Amino acid sequence: MTEMLITRPEHDKTTHYLSNWSKEIIDIAEDKNIKVFDLNREKAIRTNVEVRLRKLSCNLTFFNGHGNFNIITGHNNEPIIIGGENENLLKSKIVYAISCKSAKELGPRSVNAGAVSYTGFDDDFIFIYEPENISRPLHDNTAKLFLGPSQPFMKSLIKGNSVREGIDKTKKLLTDNFLKALNDNDRDSAKYLWWDLKHFVSHGNLDAKLQ
Amino acid sequence: MSNISEDIKELVIFRLEAFPSNRKVSIGSYGEFTKEELIDHVRKGDEIGKKIADIEMEFIRALKEGIV
Amino acid sequence: MTLKNKFLNIYANLPLSLRKETIIVFNKEPLTWNAVYVEVFNNAKNSEKILKKLEELKII
């Protein structure tokens, strides 16, 4: 049975948005009989992540949160994956990390340590949102331009497609939203969508699929 | 990261003035900002200000190569 | 290629909505792509200075 680990801290507005926009992936995965370990809010801490990664026979991890070039963080910005300390726990896993900058150094390190692939951002992930929708992030049509594209990668993998196909779908949606923003004279959204598209990268075996 | 030149500061601030007042932007681990806060950081030339200015200038310069 | 030609080539390729963006502050005045185009098209007296400044900023 395929198993998936997802981290969803929610300690600030950014992680609140990321958490809500990634929740749908849990439902989709469970519909496909994937066992999901959801480390939400204060559960998104290093000890829990390490325990799950050591136990999991799977293959799929989805990190939401902040980060830096060599770390992914969880609840209250506590590091949960640190290059040079525990990236070996990502061995044999397909990793997707909406965690700023981590694909720059932690990504290649993880692949060197045996991760199948690591997809994410090699610089800051940026999005615009509507403060009046903070309590209903899924109704935020501005944030949707940025966070909608965070879903196709996982949806595509769960359906049995390769990492490469997931990347292509994500890039297509980011590009489509960029063009839509230009057409709507939303130049600020266009600018930051361009930034996110530019910094969306992947390392490792792009032909890999979930077994 | 070098300081933001006065020319670039001036330009970036004018561009940021067009950012909608009813929106905020989340920039990685730096946090969430209103238009006024973005402008303030650029004026100060601090780490966040330099990041914001870098993003603006990278975007404008990318237009040379054809952004679409 | 002259600076004027460089500018016109870039301008021609810009999406319409982006042409309304400020790209330079000249004599304390913000100028958009469109505003610079007018100066450059008409070979206005400041157009050469504006183009040089755009070049210094690596925008053209």
- Nearest CA distance, C19 vs chain A (angstrom): 10
Query: pLDDT of A185-196, one tens digit each?
Result: 999 999 999 999
CA distances from A205 to A6, A164, A167, A186, A202 (A): 21, 9, 12, 36, 9
- B→C interface, C-beta within 8 Å: 7-8, 10-11, 14-15, 18, 57, 60-61, 63-64, 66-68
Residue pair A15/A44 in contact (Cβ under 8 Å)? The answer is no
Q: Which of residues 16-35 of C touch A (CB under 8 A)?
A: 17-18, 20-21
Q: What is the pLDDT of residues B10-65, one digit of tens each?
A: 999 999 999 999 999 999 989 999 999 999 999 999 999 999 999 999 999 999 98
Q: Do A14 and B31 touch (CB under 8 A)?
A: yes
CB of A82 within 8 A of CB of A70? yes
| Fold annotation for A3-204 | Rossmann fold (3.40.50)
- Chain C nearest CA to B47, separation (Å): 21
Instruction: Show me where the domains of chain C are located.
Output: 3-56
* Radius of gyration (C-alpha) of chain A in whole angstroms: 16
pLDDT tens-digit series, residues A52-65: 999 866 689 999 99
What one-character DSSP code corresponds to residue A92?
T
Count of A-C CB contacts under 8 Å: 12
Contacts of A190 in chain C (CB under 8 A): 17-18
